[in-house]
Amino acid sequence: MDRLSGLDASFLYLETPEQLMHVCGLMLLDPSTIPGGYDFERMRDHLGQRVLEIPTFMRKLRRVPMGLDFPVWEHDDHFDVQRHVHRMALPAPGGDQELADMVGHLAGQLLDRSRPLWEMWVVEGLESGQIAVVSKMHHATVDGVSGANLMSMLCSLEPGAPLIDIDMKTKQPGRAPGSRELFARGVVATATKPLHFANLVKPTVGILAGAASRARRNEAMAAPLTAPRTSFNGTITGHRSVSFADIDLATIKKIKDLVPGATVNDVVLAVSGGALRRYLESRGELPETSLLASVPVSVHGKSSRDGGTNKVSSLFTRLRTDLADPLERLQALAEANALAKEHHQAIPADTLQDWAEFAAPRVFGLAVRAVTSLRLAERGPVIHNLVISNVPGPPVPLYFLGARMDAMYPLGPVFHGAGLNITVLSNNGVAHIGVIACSESVPEPWLITDGFSAELDALLASVS
C-alpha cells in the first residue's frame, strides 16, 4: 500500500470533465519489424503479460474513509488487460488529420477511476502502413520523467530482444490495509498537519524574501500573473484538438553550438516562441508584450522525498514573441533563462511537494467548479499563457513490443486559463512535437506545428 503524495493527489482534485488531468502519448510504429508479423491479439496479450511485472500498471486508487487523508494505491486483484487495451481503425483516408482528430477525441475522455489509471488504443488503417498506439495515463500516477521511464519498460533495443529490464525489488505490491487502519492513519495525518505547516512557514518566508531581492536586482525569473491575454487563455471545455510535427535534433544542436550561452532547451523555446508568434500574427492577435510560458522542471535527482510519483517544479519564461528577429529572440531567451535557472536552483527542490501536502479535496473541488461556472479564467490577470515541456529521450531506436518506434508525440494536460500545451520529446535524432489544446480555443493547431519547421530554418539562417 502506497499513499499518494499531496502533489500526486492534487491532480485528482483538480480534475473535472473539462479539465482532464491525464497525459497522453501518440506512438507511430512500423509493424513490419515485429517478429512473426503484427497481430492485435498477440500484441495485447504480450502487453498484458509485461504489465503484470510493473506495479504502476497494476495499481488502482482506494479512498481513505471520510477523505481524512490522500488516497492510497492498492494492487488490482481483478486486473483485466482487455479493459485497458483497445483496438480501433481510422476512417479513410487514414492521414494525419484523421489520426489527430481521433487522438483529440480519446484525449477528451475521463479515465475510469475504479481501475488502474491507464489505457491504450491500438489504431490501424493509417495510410502510411504504420500502426499507432495512443496511451493515456493519469498525472496522479506519472510525471514526464517517470512516464517516459515507464514506457521504456515496454520497449527493447532490437525487435526480438528482451524488453528493458525491471528492478525485481519493485514487483511485490504492498500489503492492503483495512478500512480501520486507513481511518486511523488519516486521523494521525490530519492531526499533524498544523505542525508541518508551522515548520514550512519560516523557510518559505526566506524563499520569498530571496525572490524579492533577486527581483530588485533584475536577477529573478519572469513573474506569473504578468502574461498578456490571448484566445487560448480562458475557460476550457472537455474537447481537445491535437497536431504533431517533427524537426531535426541535429539542427537544434548546431544552432545551440553557434550561439554562446544557449542550450538545447533555449533553442526549443525560441523556436516555440517563433511558431506561436507566426500563429498569433496570422490571426491578427499578436500581443505587444511577450507570451509567458510555464516550463516544468524535473527534480527527481534532487528531491529528498522517497514517496510520490510527481517530483516536479516549474519556472516561468518569456518566449519573446515580441521580437521578430529569431536570433535576437534566442539570445534574449538564453540570457533570461540563465538567470531563471539560478533563481530556481535557490528554491529547495521539495518546496512544491511540501506545500502540496496541504491540498484539500473539497477546497480544490469547489475552486475548480467556481472557475468553470463563473468563468473566472476570463477575468483578471493571466497567470501564464501555456505550458511548454522539453523531454530528452533515447538517442537510439526503440522497439515497442517488437515494432520500431518511428515517432513519439507527448501530449500534456491543459488548464483553465492556459488552454494550450506544447511538449517536445527527442528520440533517435528527431525532436517530436506534440500540441494539444482546448479545441474551442485553438481550433487549428496545425497552424502552430507548421510554424516549427519554418522557424527552425529561419533561426539557422540567422546564425549561419
How sure is the predictor about 136, in pLDDT bands with cuts at 50, 70 and 90? very high
Same structural domain for residues 299 and 420?
Answer: yes
Same structural domain for residues 230 and 293?
Answer: yes
Judge whether 221 and 295 are in contact, CB under 8 Å.
no
How sure is the predictor about 229, in pLDDT bands with cuts at 50, 70 and 90? very high
Residue 221: inside a domain = yes
Closest alpha carbon to 246 in 456, 403, 9:
456
Q: Answer whether residue 174 shows pLDDT above 70.
A: no
How sure is the predictor about 168, in pLDDT bands with cuts at 50, 70 and 90? very low
Closest alpha carbon to 151 in 163, 139, 167:
163
Preceding peptide of 31 cis, ω within 30°: no
Residue 317: inside a domain = yes
CA dihedral 130, 120, 10, 375 (to 10 degrees): 70
Give the residue, 192 or 153, on which the prediction is more confident: 153
DSSP one-letter code for 310: -
How sure is the predictor about 208, in pLDDT bands with cuts at 50, 70 and 90? very low
What pLDDT is stored for residue 330 in this prediction?
Answer: 98
* Integer Cα distance of 108 and 91 in angstroms: 19
Same structural domain for residues 149 and 289?
Answer: no
Q: Answer whether residue 366 shows pLDDT above 90.
A: no
Number of domains in the chain: 2
Residue 314: inside a domain = yes
Judge whether 138 and 22 are in contact, CB under 8 Å.
yes
Residue 323: inside a domain = yes
Residue 266: inside a domain = yes
Note if 416 is an active site residue: no
Q: What is the CATH number of the domain that holds 51?
A: 3.30.559.10
Neighbours of 386 (CB within 10 A): 25
Neighbours of 49 (CB within 10 A): 10
Same structural domain for residues 336 and 222?
Answer: yes
* CA-derived radius of gyration, the chain: 22
What pLDDT is stored for residue 299 in this prediction?
Answer: 74
Within 8 A by CB and 6+ apart from 385, the residues are 227, 228, 230, 232, 233, 291, 292, 293, 418, 420
Q: Answer whether residue 66 shows pLDDT above 50.
A: yes
Residue 173: inside a domain = no
Q: Which of 139, 343, 344, 384 is catalytic?
A: 139
DSSP 337-353: HHHHHHHHHTS-TTHHH
Same structural domain for residues 454 and 342?
Answer: yes
Residue 193: inside a domain = no
| Domain of 28, in residue numbers | 2-162
Q: Answer whether residue 309 shows pLDDT above 80.
A: no
How sure is the predictor about 278, in pLDDT bands with cuts at 50, 70 and 90? very high
Residue 356: inside a domain = yes
Same structural domain for residues 250 and 341?
Answer: yes
Same structural domain for residues 221 and 87?
Answer: no
Give the residue, 406 or 179, on which the prediction is more confident: 406
Average pLDDT of the chain, as a whole number: 87
Percent of the chain with pLDDT over 90: 66
